[in-house]
Structure 1
Amino acid sequence: MAKLRPLAGAARLFTTPLEPEDFLGLVNPLLSSRQLRGLVTRVEHEAPDSATIHFRPGRGWLNHQAGQWARIGVEIDGVRHWRSYSLSAPAGGDPAITVTAIGQVSEALVRNTAPGDVLFLGPPQGDFVLPEHPRPLLMLTAGSGLTPVMSMIRTLTRQRADADVVLIHSSRTMEDALFREELGHLAGNHPGLRVVHWVTSEQGRLDLTHAGHLDEVCEDWRTRAAFACGPSDFLDSAEALWREVDTDHPLIIERFATVRLDGAGGEGGLVTFTRSDKEVEVDGSTTILDAGEDAGVVMPSGCRMGICRTCLTPLLAGTVRDLRNGELITGEGELIQTCVTAPAGPVDLEV
């Protein structure tokens, strides 16, 4: 590698002000030491508004664990937007994300992505992963919450013939159920996998405020290591049930949205984005990230749930409120998470 450095230096004489890799990128879009990228290899439509996007990552990608997520960047009208998506492919191979068309970025991915497109990537992250040692598992999912669990199931059915998994998946109709054909095939070929589809348009809501529905479909659910992913109210009910009932294992949860404290919002205020030269009036329950993006400010972001800290932005003046716990943050130079904070009076930000 050291022998290549003089060559790189010589190449810069001919490419300045660009870098040599800017020209290499014309030949291979995955060649970039500054930004991890992935080349879309296949797009599969799972349901009317959902698609699985397979991609081949460039150098620097770390193999994901089943259940993890990654930040995905996509350019829309010349602006790069970042969102976090669960990886639905099994561990150990090229990754994939399964996206439901809700919101600007997800809509663009589902409707417009085609093989040959380039995605911008962040490394795999998250602790919603399979237990280290084999054990009977219960997977509770609703809607797109099936996505990270699908990675787990695909991994287990490939790697462990003795896997013992019960999946209970809630969807509005069978047509809306993600991966239903593949799950049927996997269950038919792996005796240790049982799939229960709970169709709310026919059976009503899967009620987790009491043990009745779980007792009905999985008698031994209390003895299984349990994972849950889905809408906030679905997960809130599951958490409450696990607190009330004696079980052998804690419930492990993956949330796609921030849990906000009731009444955590405040008075709001005028937010000044100094580098972007924009001012926006923001109410006390709207995040600074959302307000900035709505105003056309290019904001750093990642998980949008206060986990990855990609959105950290210097506070130049004013006070913000953390919508998760109501805490006030003030002081020049403080780094704030714009995805979970709202203004509490006038605020100046360096963005």
Structure 2
Amino acid sequence: YVRIGIDVEGVRLWRAYSLTSPTHRQDGRVTITVKAIPDGKVSNHLVRRAKPGTLIQLDQPTGDFVLPQAKPAKVLYLTAGSGITPVMGMLRDTAFDDAVMIHCAPRAQDVIFRDELRGLAGDKRLRLTEVHTDTDGMLDIARLGELVPDWTERETWACGPAGLLDAAEKHWSEHGVPERLHTERFRPSVVATGDGGEVTFSATGKTVEADGATPLLDIGEEAGVLMPSGCRMGICFGCVTPLKAGAVRDLRTGEITEAEPGVLIQTCVSAAAGPCDIER
């Protein structure tokens, strides 16, 4: 993925997007595929307001959801919704002799890259199964063998909602092949929440109430505070901010961090654990 920086209403905001272009483009350009999400400041700006000539800041690409140097004999792509975007970059970049994709979307018209995917399937370069959840119901990972009998033999790349990835990780582990599953999450797994508290953003003088499950990054942005950010996954450390007072909880582990001189927190994976003061 790559971090994109763009000015929205005079404020520079950063978001991370999967690369959907192949690595061998002759013009050296890269592409991202943006889905406008409700209340998404950057996604809606990019989809509805950005025009040719708009200045976009571009960070270095990073991430480990990639194909290996040694090409697997057989692969499986398991995706849902916008989770197809990083996999599309793989499909456009590397052809496999035996590639299977299961993609979930509410309806046929909601399948991103639908025409291109069906074209690959028509050319026998991909065996495609679409699961339209509005009519077919949710994909039952336990019945994966009915769709892909040899799934345990395939290197699998999966991306989509947390529920799908949680179920996949459990299923692969139960069958003794967890090393064959590679996942990409757009949001961190939340395993611990608390009671929250009053959050003060001391640099801007704003104070808001926060629950114990919402990342401080989201709390600050909703309050109109300029918050640095990057991957929003706790990976890139683009959101680190001084904790001046109080305590926060790491949503991934439940670990409590208390304020002391020099303490920095990752606001994208930290929630209020009582009253706290963030230096923003």
Same fold flag (TM > 0.5)? yes
Alignment partners' CA distance in 1, 2:138 and 2:203: 48
- For 1:97 and 1:248, locate their aligned partners in 2 and report how far apart those are by CA, in whole Å: 29
Match of 2:104, SS?
strand
1:154 paired residue among 92, 96, 106 = 92
AA partner of residue 70 (structure 1): V
Alignment partner for residue 140 of structure 2, among 207, 214, 218? 207
Aligned positions, number: 273
8 A contact 1:72–1:122 mirrored in 2: yes
- Separation in structure 2 between the aligned mates of residue 183 and residue 312 of structure 1, nearest angstrom: 39
- 1:29-40 equivalences in 2 (<5 Å): none
The amino acid that maps onto 1:223 is E
Q: What corresponds to 1:171 in structure 2?
A: 105
| Deviation by residue 1:128-182 (Cα, 9 ceiling, x = unmatched) | 000221111110000110000000000013xxxx532111111111111011111
Deviation per residue, 1:237-266 (Å, 9 max, x gap): 1111111114485211000111011xx222
* Paired residues for 1:268-283 under 5 Å: 268-283=196-211
- TM-score, length-scaled by structure 2: 0.92
**Structure 1 partner of 2:163:** 233
Asked if residue 97 in structure 1 is aligned to residue 32 in structure 2, the reply is yes
> Could you say what secondary structure the match of 1:82 adopts?
strand
In structure 2, what is the equivalent of residue 141 of structure 1? 79
> For 1:236-255, what aligned pairs fall within 5 Å after superposition?
236-247=166-177, 249-255=179-185
Runs of 4+ in 1 over 6 A off after TM superposition: none
Partner of 2:110: helix, strand, or coil?
coil
Q: Which segments of 5 or more consecutive residues in structure 1 lack a partner in the other structure? A: 1-68
The reply on whether 1:317 has 2:245 as its aligned counterpart is yes
Counterpart in the other structure of 1:333: 262
Q: Counterpart in 1 of 2:149?
A: 219
1:234 aligned partner, one-letter code:
L
1:287 lines up with 2:220 in the alignment: no
| Identity score, percent | 51
Amino acid at match of 2:8: I
> In the alignment, which residue of structure 1 is the partner of 2:271?
342
| RMSD of Structure 2 on Structure 1 (CA) | 1.6
SS of 1:97's partner is coil
CA contact (8 A) 2:82 2:160 kept: yes
Give CA-to-partner distance per residue, 1:61-87, whole Å, 9 cap, x none: xxxxxxxx1111222211122111111
Q: State the structure with more CA Rg.
A: 1
Partner Cα distance (2:176, 2:195) in 1: 42
Contact 2:172 2:178 in 1 (8 A): no
Over 3 Å counting, the alpha-carbon distance change for 1:148 and 1:348 in structure 2 is same
The residue that corresponds to 1:24 in the other structure is: none
Q: Which amino acid aligns with 2:80?
A: A
Contact 1:224 1:248 in 2 (8 A): no
